Amino acid sequence: MNIAIIPARGGSKRIPHKNIKNFCGKPLIAYSIEAAIASQLFDRIIVSTDDKEIADIAQRYGAEIPFIRPNELADDYTGTSAVINHALKILQQQGESYDYACTIYATAPLLQVKFLQEGYQKLKNSSAQLAFSATSMPFPIQRTFKITKTGRCEMFTPEHFMTRSQDLETAYQDAGQFYWQNLKLDAPDIAFSHSSIPIILPRYLVQDIDTPEDWEQAELMFQLLKQRGKI
């Protein structure tokens, strides 16, 4: 049995009510719920939230709210893993057990069903513990630099200053959309390891939504992709 767990707390600071703010005609969380439903991979799709308004909207779009998340797991410092473990523990106490769990972020309006399905199939047919969304970095990380306290530049890897971009190894980053876990195996201490399978997404389908600027860029991307028939 498979379960999708969508964490969605109510206390967003930089974008108030972010998880249910209108995004191109729907509450943001609706896209994640609808993608999970459309994938036909899950026996249950639940939202872990501390907020009644989020709970009501999530239910309206087809998710379940089997419990209200306690306040101590809804602050600015609680990590996603603690929220997921809490949800699985509550469900276990209710007599339910699952083989695979997929954490889907509520802030993933560009999430595509085919990548959710790919993640599940690759994880199920492997000895890995995790499968998660990832994408390539848009610029070689070997050519990046930091700004010193004196306002000057300092490269992280100065030995690559003269290396051609095409000769540098491609680096990847977490796309922040979904995380499949094989619950029959213990989760690794570090997600980005040999225990994990990265599901590579094109960069045009990846956008963090943490600030108002991110939000505006995500809406522009969504509208353009919809016009071009890519979503």
DSSP class of residue 186 equals: P
Give the 3-state secondary structure of 36-82: HHHHCCCCEEEEECCCHHHHHHHHHCCCECCCCCCHHHCCCCCCHHH
Q: What percent of the chain clears pLDDT 90, i.e. is strictly above it?
A: 93
Q: What is the largest CA-CA distance in the chain?
A: 60
Residue 185 belongs to some domain of the structure? yes
- Residue 187: its pLDDT value, please? 81
Residue 140 belongs to some domain of the structure? no
Helix axes 113-124, 28-39, angle to 10 degrees: 50
Residue 196 belongs to some domain of the structure? yes
Nearest to 121 by CA among 182, 78, 80: 182
| Average pLDDT value over all residues in the chain | 96
Supply the pTM of this predicted model: 0.95
**Banded pLDDT at 84 (limits 50, 70, 90):** very high
**What average pLDDT does range 99-111 have in this prediction?**
98
pLDDT digits (tens, 9 = 90+) for 169-223: 999 999 999 999 999 998 888 889 999 999 999 999 999 999 999 999 999 999 9
Residue 187 belongs to some domain of the structure? yes
**What average pLDDT does range 217-231 have in this prediction?**
95
Residue 101 belongs to some domain of the structure? yes
- Residue 188: its pLDDT value, please? 81
Say which range, 59-63, 70-74, 110-114, 116-120, has the weakest mean pLDDT. Answer: 70-74
- Residue 186: its pLDDT value, please? 87
Range of the structural domain that residue 113 is part of: 2-134+175-227
- Residue 11: its pLDDT value, please? 83
Residue 10 belongs to some domain of the structure? yes
In this predicted structure, the answer to whether residue 7 has a pLDDT above a threshold of 90 is yes
Residue 52 belongs to some domain of the structure? yes
Residue 193 belongs to some domain of the structure? yes
- Residue 12: its pLDDT value, please? 86
114, amino acid identity: K
What's the structural domain count of the chain?
Answer: 1
CATH number at residue 7: 3.90.550.10
**Banded pLDDT at 13 (limits 50, 70, 90):** confident
